[in-house]
Amino acid sequence: MHRFEKSSSAEDGATAPIIRHADFTIGDVVRHRLYDFRGVIYDVDPVFANSDEWYQAIPEDLRPPKDQPFYHLLAENGESSYIAYVSQQNLESDDSDEPVDHPGIDGLFDAYAEGRYRMRRERTH
């Protein structure tokens, strides 16, 4: 689990660190809470880091707050595979114990076991 720090205003006007926790980590298999797709996490942003155009395209009543972790997924649904960018509030663990069927997995990960993927050694730092 990752921990991220973000500054916010304290009552006295000074900034104080707030610890944000990423509930998921690289290699975890997750499922979207609202839409029928799942995927494997290959990167994590501590807060929203996509374009304003992308963010504004989300219907306002479904638009998640930007001050939470966002995850990059190699995603799949019943029809195709693609890249997804999803807020933490919209993800949950996928307990199916089934591997994700995405053509990008072999380039980033080398093993699938116990519901998660292991990053290729040459991709870690």
Per the DSSP assignment, residues forming a β-bridge with 2 are none
* Cα–Cα dist 29/93, whole Å: 6
Within-domain flag for 37: yes
Q: What pLDDT shows up at residue 4?
A: 47
Please, are residues 118 and 95 in contact by the beta-carbon 8 Å criterion? no
Cβ of 40: how many Cβ atoms within 10 Å? 26
Amino acid at 24: F
Q: Which residue is listed with tokens 């080398």?
A: 110
Note the pLDDT of residue 15. Answer: 55
Confidence band for 125, pLDDT divided at 50, 70 and 90 = low
- For residue 110, give the CATH number of its domain: 2.30.30.390
Number of structural domains in the chain: 1
Residues 6+ apart with CB under 8 A from 53: none
What's 18-62 look like in SS3?
EEEECCCCCCEEEEECCCCCEEEEEEEECCCCCCHHHHHCCCHHH
pLDDT digits (tens, 9 = 90+) for 80-106: 999 999 999 999 999 999 999 999 999
In a domain, 66, yes or no: yes
Q: Are 64 and 87 in contact (CB under 8 A)?
A: yes
Question: What's the pLDDT at 87?
Answer: 97
Contact 48, 54 (CB under 8 A): no
Q: Find the domain containing 35 and state its range.
A: 23-123
Domain-embedded: residue 7:
no
pLDDT in tens, 18-64: 557 899 999 999 999 999 999 999 999 999 999 999 999 999 999 99
